[in-house]
Amino acid sequence: MPKKYVDLETLKYILYDIHKLENLLTRERFQEHDLESLNLFIDSVKEFSDRELYPFFKEMDETPAYHKDGTVIVHKQVETVMHQSGEMGIIAAAFNYEDGGLQIPFCALQAAVYIMEAANNHLPGYTGLTQGAAELIIEFGSKTLKDLYIPNMLAGIWGGTMCLTEPEAGSSLSDITTKATPTDNGYYKISGQKIFISGGDHQFAKNIVHLVLARIEGAPKGTKGISLFVVPKNRPKEDGNLEYNDVMTVADFQKMGQRGYCTTHLGFGDKDDCRGWLVGEEHKGLNQMFLMMNGARIAVGRGAAAIAMAAYRTSLQYANERAQGRKLTSDGKKNPLEKQSLIIEHPDVRRMLLLQKSIAEGSLSLVFLASKYHDIIHSTNSQEEKEKYNLLLEMIIPIVKTYPSEAGSESVNNGLQVLGGYGFCTDFSLQQYYRDIRISALYEGTTGIQSQDLLGRKVTMQNGKALKLLAAEIMQTIKLASKDDNLKDYAVVLGEKLQLSNKVLDYLMPFAAKGNYERYLADANLFMEYMSIVVLGWLWLEMAVDANTELNNSDSKYSKTFYESKIHTMKFYFKYEIPKTNSLAESLMSNEVVTIKKDKEFII
Amino acid sequence: MPKKYVDLETLKYILYDIHKLENLLTRERFQEHDLESLNLFIDSVKEFSDRELYPFFKEMDETPAYHKDGTVIVHKQVETVMHQSGEMGIIAAAFNYEDGGLQIPFCALQAAVYIMEAANNHLPGYTGLTQGAAELIIEFGSKTLKDLYIPNMLAGIWGGTMCLTEPEAGSSLSDITTKATPTDNGYYKISGQKIFISGGDHQFAKNIVHLVLARIEGAPKGTKGISLFVVPKNRPKEDGNLEYNDVMTVADFQKMGQRGYCTTHLGFGDKDDCRGWLVGEEHKGLNQMFLMMNGARIAVGRGAAAIAMAAYRTSLQYANERAQGRKLTSDGKKNPLEKQSLIIEHPDVRRMLLLQKSIAEGSLSLVFLASKYHDIIHSTNSQEEKEKYNLLLEMIIPIVKTYPSEAGSESVNNGLQVLGGYGFCTDFSLQQYYRDIRISALYEGTTGIQSQDLLGRKVTMQNGKALKLLAAEIMQTIKLASKDDNLKDYAVVLGEKLQLSNKVLDYLMPFAAKGNYERYLADANLFMEYMSIVVLGWLWLEMAVDANTELNNSDSKYSKTFYESKIHTMKFYFKYEIPKTNSLAESLMSNEVVTIKKDKEFII
């Protein structure tokens, strides 16, 4: 078993030195925190993860959660981690003091949960969804609802879920049919089925608080007729005791990966006794849910980034220990009398490791970028700043959800390959990372959905203002890098790629202008890939600018090798990944239309 | 469960119409076969696969082979399929009449085994390795060895394996340490450990005949000191009975996929009573094994191509049945009152399906191309023809092993994505295909090893003669396509990509010339990807040329839609895949060197 599943030094470097957590701490919201206390928080979560998460990673895969007698049986660590996360304030961390929170910067909380996910991605979802559900109640719920549910949720005593998907309404949420019938008693009667509900039930939960999208009788069709309800598994009675609320666990889903994190099929109101309490206004449910969805999408990207990191650390350790093959001599042969080389000496293994490093660490920087925007939005008093970072965050959300999921999966694929045949064996964890990370491109809106969101909504938002703001941020780094002889060539390349993205949009926009949205969006996935590579190129250049400066700083925090490794990885990214934008642009600007269905079906 | 795991029409189209099996049948070796009889053979294997393989696909994943009491317990179908494959002549098919074979073209046998692999890739390996082991004995073994082993092997009564890998000798076979000590009795005493031995033992095998690479005492170090031995699990005594030959099944390997196909760790000579019989000459073992290795590498590509096909058929069926989402209207909105669309209507789903189709069917054509070369080599009397096709086959071998494995894996990845969340669930087979196919890039030489072989050995062979021959084949198709207005643009593009490959080689060759092989080969993987895309572009253009002709043929064999779908898929490949060559060429010709280790280690 590898000793290190996360590179804590790099995590702190990116959070403190690149995204400058310290700058956030000058804001009123965070004034009671300082770097030292946050650093302690992060270290304590690392220690917690070493002790309570990482040792159970393999075991939870081998003993998947399963449905039995109307509940789901999960690994015992679910209880331990829920309770201890509550006690340590991990669930409550980012909430306001007045809601029982600690007002810790969202960034710092992401760092903590990232470490937990790198240690064992089967566990943090239980607390993560509880936190998300709590967020919705806090943001939109009445005081009664808050008082009734929040304390037990933040303490990790009660779980929480998001209930969106139904058998006929997955990517298409407008087709939700779960019904809410008003009563005279202040609550609604809920009936319907929800599927793919993560953490939806387990033997340790005294209660689970479901946040359910449903349609109030007579509501308009489509997304504008959906409302949000709190529907607990057990409803609190006035005497404080709990009473079963007719929420049935019908079945579970057995999965290829993340098998310790249960996925359930829930039935509401089978006995006509399921009560739900409206959260916020009628028919505003989808909007409310989507406010929370930004956090959920950052969380998916964060989880994928964490798995990619853990896989990288594992394959790096293997490559440093495993001897196999030899260097080629100058006549192109190998000398069998020589000792075998460590595989990390072979260029192709190095390529796979650097690919992993560039994706894993780049994804981490992307997650902190989005989290920083989130923190600025939630701590500013300036309407202008709020608006700016809101737009930037909206722009980044589909990318932070997608890049770590897709490239992260590719990264783990390369990690598995580093181990050769052992990578395919269950004695090694690479195959588990490979299976686990695959869910990320499906969770909370598939890559297809995210790409439509990016090109269809985000790029066009306020006449392209969000994209312009993002480009301006990128240009700042390009300018800084241009000033340095070591980096200016990379700055030029990134500038060209940014310009090429405009050319791509100039090509695509007329389709939208003419109302041909199908054509406009047909290759949204390729545009997503294009923009992701540009954004990652930016984040790597940003890291290289800092590392380059620190190399000339006699009392820099980290070793010379540390900074040089960051610059080296940037160079790798620019040699192997950045050029992909060219072929993507070529496909995007091709006049050949082959994926839009015409009269006949050729896909047979 | 999908009804179709293979598109038999396309298989026959590619085999009969594109690669023109009929032409092979004019050769003396195949004179007793005609298209009709081979077609019947293929149909009977399809029927066999429907009955004995496909129904057990999921079950074999859920009840993996496992080690118990010194043997391995496998699914009962292993016995059924071994025996029936023997009875149906599948194991014997391609061998000479005099060796008990049927002299069926290798191509036709590949078609048959491909169908079996698409039905259930956990089973055909047992017979495939038996056939490979038999091939080595037939090709190099004495008459005594042949008489003793071949009949039972071809009948599927005894199994066979290839024992190459050892704990310290995987990719680096020159490090094999298994020892063979000569005796005065015509046999050697064998001692050593072999790992990752597929089909190495199971409860149904009365005997397993291992073909073992070992080093005769005093042999030179390196690859030139390796010899090949027949080492049966039980040795036949003169009275015809079997006697245990001290081959112990030490353990098995539990894997992420292909779990019904056992992988074993064997110990030879633990009690100093393991006998091995030399096959062919001393110290020639590796060369002999590599003669057989071409077949094994085609087989890996074929298996991967088959899994990609099965996954494509499954996700295509799903996309044709599952309704979700709606088309965008001309104002960019969706009308919730409209019925949901089938997901096959969505451009992004179509993109994923066409990507799968282009990879799965293109890989099949590639497998038949290599098999056709193999058939020509083994049926020609002309030394010139033999030499030409030998070179062509050598050139194609690393590609036919790698492209279906790597692109096939990507293809299945897209197939899983088509199913959304269900793709991740064990109730659907996509996740199993995703896990199963992942072994292909590791089997019989990883992608890294294949890429070194392609650029390091094959491209440089006889001063680049093999590559020139391949380019000439591609040019023939380009010329044909150039004559047609519908296809000439694609012909131009493919020609350019072929030229660009020369430019890439012109850039790389000087490194080899100066003895800097490490630099020359550092990006061999990218060159593999480049050449694979060009070869696949060629095969798709070849298919389009034929389809285009048949569209104007009033009594063509298949429907208009069938031919149009082939041309359409070619267009897809040229829009989305061919452009990738540009970015690959850019990376390949970059002066930035980041994967060769210098003085300091930056990968940390």
Model confidence pLDDT, tens digit, residues A153-169: 999 999 999 999 999 88
Residue A1 pLDDT > 80: no
Rounded mean pLDDT, B400-418: 98
Does position A330 have pLDDT exceeding 90, yes or no? Answer: no
Do residues A274 and A231 lie in contact, with contact meaning Cβ atoms separated by under 8 Å? yes
Residue at token pair 């894997």 = B255
Which residues, at least 6 apart from A141, have a Cβ–Cβ distance to it below 8 Å? A149, A230, A279, A280
Residue B2 has pLDDT above 60, yes or no: no
Task: Nearest by CB to B332, from A336, A349, A517: name it.
Answer: A517
From the CA of A461, how many Å to the nearest CA of chain B? 13
| Residue A336 to residue B222, Cβ atoms within 8 A | yes
Q: How near does any CA of chain B get to the CA of A412, in Å?
A: 12
Cα–Cα separations (whole angstroms), residue B161 to A210, B195, B207, B420, B554: 55, 12, 11, 39, 50
Return the closest-CA partner of residue B94 out of B30, B45, B141, B42.
B30
CB contacts of A165 in chain B (<8 Å) are 421
Whether B350 sits inside 8 A of A595 (CB atoms) is yes
Which residues of chain B does A512 touch, with a Cβ-Cβ cutoff of 8 Å? 332
Q: How many CA atoms lie within 13 A of A577 on its CB side?
A: 32
Of B601, B561, B456, the residue nearest B517 (C-alpha): B456
CB within 8 Å: B344 and A424: no
Considering only CB atoms, which chain A residues are within 8 Å of B565? 602-604
Q: For B345, which of A165, A526, A597 is closest by C-beta distance?
A: A597
Contact yes or no for A190/A239 (Cβ under 8 A): no
| Residue in chain B nearest A6 by alpha carbon | B604
Indicate the helix (H) or strand (E) that contains B235. Answer: strand B234-236
Report yes or no: A412 and A311 within 8 Å, Cβ to Cβ.
Answer: yes
pLDDT band at B330 (very low <50, low <70, confident <90, very high): confident
Mean of the per-residue pLDDT values of chain B: 96
The whole-number average pLDDT for the span A239-243 is 94
Distance, in Å, from the CA atom of A410 to the CA atom of A403, rounded to the nearest integer, reads: 10
Amino acid B4: pLDDT: 86
Distance from CA of A586 to the nearest CA of B (A): 7
Identify the band that residue B187 occupies on the pLDDT scale cut at 50, 70 and 90: very high
State whether A221 and B572 contact (CB < 8 Å): no
Task: Using CB atoms, pick whichever of B334, B442, B604 lies closest to residue A420.
Answer: B442
Tokens representing residue A210 in the block: 């479901």
- In this predicted structure, what is the pLDDT of residue B3? 56
Q: Indicate which residues of B carry an active-site annotation.
A: 444
- Asked if pLDDT for residue A171 goes beyond 60, the answer is yes
Name the percent of chain B lying above pLDDT 70. Answer: 100
Q: How far is CA B84 from CA B104, B109, B200, in A?
A: 18, 15, 20
The residues of A that are catalytic are 444
Best residue of B164, B221, B317, B351 to probe chain A, by most A CBs closer than 10 Å: B351
What are A470's two structure tokens? 């993002």
CB distance B351–A523 less than 8 Å?
Answer: yes
- The answer to whether the Cβ–Cβ distance between A595 and B564 falls below 8 Å is no
CB contact under 8 A, A255 and B323: no
**Residues in B touching A421 (Cβ below 8 Å):** 165, 170, 196, 253, 442
Residues of chain A contacting B561 with CB distance shorter than 8 Å: 600-602, 604
Select from A222, A515, A602 the Cβ nearest to the Cβ of B336: A222
A-B CB pairs within 8 A amount to 284
Mean pLDDT of A509-519: 96
Q: Do B254 and A420 touch (CB under 8 A)?
A: no
The reply to whether residue A446 touches residue B523, judged by beta carbons under 8 angstroms, is no
- pLDDT score, position A163: 96
Shortest distance, CA A222 to any CA of chain B (angstroms): 5
- The continuous run of DSSP H or E covering A249 comes out as strand A247-252
**Domain ranges for chain A:** 446-596
pLDDT in tens, A59-100: 999 999 999 999 999 999 999 999 999 999 999 999 999 999
Tell me which chain B residues have a C-beta less than 8 angstroms from the C-beta of A168: 323-324, 340
**Measured between alpha carbons, how far is A11 from A115 in angstroms, rounded to an integer?**
9
Hey, are the CB atoms on B253 and A427 less than 8 Å from each other?
A: yes
Q: Under an 8 A CB cutoff, do A340 and B172 touch?
A: yes
Question: Is A405 a residue whose pLDDT tops 60?
Answer: yes
Query: Hey, of B8, B328, B331, which one would you mutate to test binding to chain A, going by the most A CBs within 10 A of its CB?
Result: B328
Check pLDDT > 60 for residue B519: yes
Nearest CA in chain A to B329: A517
A interface test, pick of B61, B62, B196, B256 with most A CB neighbours within 10 Å: B256
pLDDT at position A2 is 42
Pair B277, B186: CB distance under 8 Å: yes
- Option in B327, B336, B597 nearest A174 (CB): B336
Chain B residue with Cα closest to A439 = B424
Cβ-based contacts of A559 with chain B (< 8 Å): none
| Residue contact A582–B582, C-beta within 8 A | yes
CB B576 within 8 A of CB B511: no
- Nearest residue, CB atoms, A594 vs list B426, B451, B571: B571
For B568-585, give the secondary structure using H, E and C: HHHHHHHHHHCCHHHHHH
> Are the beta carbons of A171 and B601 separated by less than 8 Å?
no
Query: Has this prediction a pTM greater than 0.95?
Result: yes
Which residue of chain A has the CA closest to B526? A576
Instruction: Check whether B274 has a pLDDT greater than 70.
Output: yes
Nearest-CA distance B527 → chain A (Å): 12
Query: What residues of B are in contact with residue A596 (Cβ under 8 Å)?
Result: 347, 350
Residue pLDDT, tens place only, B369-398: 999 999 999 999 999 999 999 999 999 999
Closest alpha carbon within chain A to B576: A587
Q: How much is the pLDDT for A3?
A: 56
Q: Indicate the pLDDT class of residue B170, thresholds 50, 70 and 90.
A: confident
**Residue in chain A lying closest to B222 (CA):** A336
- For B548-579, how does the pLDDT look when each residue is reduced to its tens digit (9 = 90+)? 999 999 999 999 999 999 999 999 999 999 99
Are B494 and B537 spatial neighbours (Cβ–Cβ below 8 Å)?
Answer: yes
What confidence tens digit (pLDDT) does each residue in B238-247 have?
898 999 999 9
Chain A residues with beta carbon closer than 8 angstroms to that of B517: 328-330, 332
* Distance in Å, alpha carbon of B120 to nearest chain A alpha carbon: 18
Q: Is the pLDDT of residue B53 over 90?
A: yes
Shortest CA distance to B78 belongs to which of B241, B251, B215, B262? B262
Question: What does pLDDT average to over chain A?
Answer: 96
Residue A515 has its nearest CB partner, among B254, B331, B336, at B331
Question: Which of B215, B595, B601 to substitute to test the interface with A, most A CBs within 10 Å?
Answer: B595
Q: Which residue has the tokens 């993340």?
A: A258
Task: Give contacts of B223 with chain A, Cβ < 8 Å.
Answer: 336
Strand residues in A29-174 grouped as ranges (E): 66-68, 71-73, 159-163
